Amino acid sequence: MALRETAEQIFPELAQKQRTFLLAGAAGLVLSAVGYTMNPEQFFSSYLLAYMLVLGLTLGALGFVMIHQLSGGAWGVVARQSLGAASRVMPVVTLLFIPIAIGMPHLYEWTHADVVNADPILRGKAAYLNTSFFLVRAAIYFIVWNGLVFLLNKWSKEQDETGNLELPLRMQRVSAGGLLLHVLCVSFAAFDWVMSRDPHWFSTIYGALVLVGQGLVAMAFQIIVLAWLARRKPMSEALTPVYLGDLAGLMFAMVVLWAYMSFSQYLIIWSGNLPEEIMWYLHREQPGWIPLAIVLVVFHFAAPFFLLLMRGIKRNPSLVTKVAMLVIVARVIDLFWLIAPETHHEGFVLSWMDLVLPAAMFALWVGLYFQQLRQRPLLPLNDPQFEEALGPAFAHADHGTAH
């Protein structure tokens, strides 16, 4: 049985795919560099959109790794190697933040001293919204994320190799504190990097909204990959229709949570009707943005909601893959809805960079993810929950050394 073989040995074609994705990503990034020389304002706006997408794919995976450490569950035993691979892209995602730090004057109006001085509200916020503190905070977020990714993946690898029973306990402890830190970091990063594009506006649920969006895009991506990996053993044995349904159920939960939070934010601001709060929505009532909101309601909520209500879809690999693809596209549109109207207060504008940059960054990220995925087995070895979750499927297999 192929349990100890790495993904590289089971799927030799991953190397070729990795190269293709990395090349496509690099080509797209070079192409968009042309856009930078033409319109830096638009370039950085699109870059932020692309960055938030790959950040979500990485951090959402990290979040699920920690949730699984605390909650257990067969879905996590099936998905944790792939989730871990996604989280290990974090160091490169950290480097990809550099252009945002460089592009701050184009992205955030509060970086301009003259704008802040002329504006009493921004003067009041200057203790928090200033360039050096912004960069210090970013450094803290990245230290926390990279630290968690490093520790959890290191111990997970040790567990594969030794089966030391101390390790699950250690991973649980780190996940408990880590999850708390993670939620705070994602929340504040969302305030800093996206919400502060409109520095007058604030919404406390905004961070949670971005957090849920990250969980959603990460789970949708994992479902697509796992359904593909289930073409061959051992994933074909492990990803039973029931477990696939569990993963799709988590995606469904994220869809509902996103809709719940988005609507809560809208309802509270709409009913309060205060000038400093409604500006954010008024910018999005400019010509052309409203249809985008309707697209979000239909394709980010209604369509996946009703499709994922049906067990027949949730448990069918090819159907649930299609829903997951729809969800990823909807996530990009939602990020576009959060970011782009701040660049174009005058009305709807879709730049070619809003398409090329997210596509390029996504391709680059997938390439890096494949690189990580190839290095380890597809299912965890020596996981204490393995027997309970996948015992019947691998009754006669030798899965690990510590028996």
Partner 1 sequence: MAEFETATQLVAAATKTREAGYVDVDAYSPIPIEELHHAIGFPHTKLPLMVLIGGLLGGMGGFSLEYWVSAVAYPLNIGGKPLVSWPMFIPVTFECTILAASLTAVFGMLMLNKLPMPYHPVFNVPRFAMASRNRFFLCIEATDRQFDLDRTREFLTSLDGAHEVTAVAN
Least distance in Å: CB of 274 to partner 1? 11
Q: Which one-letter DSSP state was computed for residue 129? A: S
Whether 243 contacts 386, CB under 8 Å:
no
Least distance in Å: CB of 56 to partner 1? 27
* Stretch touching partner 1 by CB under 8 A, among 58-66, 103-111, 192-200, 264-272: 264-272
- Residue 278 pairs in a beta bridge with none
CA dihedral 164, 58, 134, 275 (to 10 degrees): -130
Residue (266 or 348) nearer to partner 1, CB? 266
> What's the CA gap between 265 and 102, in Å, rounded?
31
Residue (133 or 306) nearer to partner 1, CB? 306
* Residue 377 φ then ψ, to 5°: -65, 160
Distances (CA, A) of 43 to 104, 134, 333: 12, 21, 17
Residues 6+ apart with CB under 8 A from 275: none
For residue 48, give both structure tokens.
Answer: 């932020």
> What's the CA gap between 80 and 64, in Å, rounded?
8
Residue (44 or 301) nearer to partner 1, CB? 301
* Stretch touching partner 1 by CB under 8 A, among 28-36, 119-127, 261-269, 352-360: 261-269
Least distance in Å: CB of 309 to partner 1? 8
> What's the CA gap between 146 and 93, in Å, rounded?
10
Q: Is 282 in the site for partner 1 (CB under 8 A)?
A: no
Whether 122 contacts 177, CB under 8 Å:
no
Residue (118 or 309) nearer to partner 1, CB? 309
Least distance in Å: CB of 265 to partner 1? 11
Least distance in Å: CB of 26 to partner 1? 45
Least distance in Å: CB of 262 to partner 1? 12
Select the residue interacting with partner 1 from 266, 281, 299, 348 (CB under 8 A): 266
> What's the CA gap between 356 and 369, in Å, rounded?
20
* Stretch touching partner 1 by CB under 8 A, among 128-136, 157-165, 247-255, 268-276: 268-276
> What's the CA gap between 332 and 42, in Å, rounded?
16
For residue 100, give both structure tokens.
Answer: 């945002």
Select the residue interacting with partner 1 from 30, 136, 242, 282 (CB under 8 A): 242
In a 10 Å sphere around its CB, with 0-12 CB exposed, 13-18 middle and 19+ buried, how is residue 275 labelled? exposed
> What's the CA gap between 278 and 10, in Å, rounded?
54
Distances (CA, A) of 255 to 205, 268, 305: 16, 20, 7
Site string for partner 1, 200-239 (x = CB under 8 A): ----------------------------------------
Q: Is 263 in the site for partner 1 (CB under 8 A)?
A: yes
Residue (291 or 312) nearer to partner 1, CB? 312
* Stretch touching partner 1 by CB under 8 A, among 8-16, 110-118, 196-204, 266-274: 266-274
Least distance in Å: CB of 390 to partner 1? 15
Residue (255 or 378) nearer to partner 1, CB? 255
For residue 231, give both structure tokens.
Answer: 């073409």
* Stretch touching partner 1 by CB under 8 A, among 34-42, 111-119, 209-217, 262-270: 262-270
Select the residue interacting with partner 1 from 133, 228, 270, 352 (CB under 8 A): 270
Place of tokens 């499927």: 393
Which residue, 150, 266, 159, 257, is CA-closest to 203?
266
Q: Is 318 in the site for partner 1 (CB under 8 A)?
A: no
For residue 10, give both structure tokens.
Answer: 């089971």
Least distance in Å: CB of 270 to partner 1? 5
Residue (127 or 274) nearer to partner 1, CB? 274
Angle at 57 between CA 130 and CA 307, to 5 degrees: 125
Least distance in Å: CB of 203 to partner 1? 16
Select the residue interacting with partner 1 from 30, 113, 121, 267 (CB under 8 A): 267
Question: Would you tell me which residues interact with partner 1 (CB under 8 A)?
Answer: 242, 263, 266-267, 270-271, 273
